[in-house]
Amino acid sequence: MKRLLWERTFDLTELSEVAKQIATEITKQTRFCLWLQGNLGAGKTALTREIFYGMGLPREESVTSPTFTLLNEYEIQGRWYAHLDLYRLSAIEEFDLSYRDFQGYFLEWPKEVETGDALAATHLVEIVHTSEDLQERHIRFSQVFD
């Protein structure tokens, strides 16, 4: 079950503001798992980057797509976060996440594989293009319950 927290249409100049709203909500929990859904180029990685910066990651640190590495890790104020792209995985079991005590997970393409309970969503972002010039997006942000 999910509960819509908010939705809005925004242009890319407002991306940082939108990301800070999401960061404020997800970090209320000790641990979280944010699922990011949207078509190719919708802005999942760009949004994740701005959420990390909103959480305190220095802007000098690069946040890139984990499309080919499958996992990128980030440390923010002594806490570790995982950014995963599940598009090319056939099963989450192919991936060992137990070596690090992650406080949060950011999953792109989460519906591509069976994630199991460990990576069950606590929050969901659904993002789509809404303009022909690709500068405007519509986002739905929800909290997910068992």
Question: What's the number of domains the chain is made of?
Answer: 1
Find the angle CA(107)-CA(4)-CA(17) to the nearest 5 degrees.
Answer: 65
The answer to whether the beta carbons of residues 107 and 122 sit under 8 Å apart is: no
The model's pTM is 0.90
User: pLDDT tens, position by position, for the chain (146 residues)?
Assistant: 999 999 999 998 999 999 999 999 999 999 999 999 999 889 999 999 999 999 999 999 999 999 888 889 999 999 999 999 888 665 555 566 666 889 999 999 887 566 667 788 999 999 998 878 778 999 999 999 87
The answer to whether the beta carbons of residues 130 and 136 sit under 8 Å apart is: yes
Cα–Cα distance, 82 to 72 (Å, whole number) = 6
The answer to whether the beta carbons of residues 2 and 122 sit under 8 Å apart is: no
Q: Is residue 66 part of a domain?
A: yes
Specify the CATH number for the domain of residue 38: 3.40.50.300
The domain in which residue 123 lies consists of 30-131
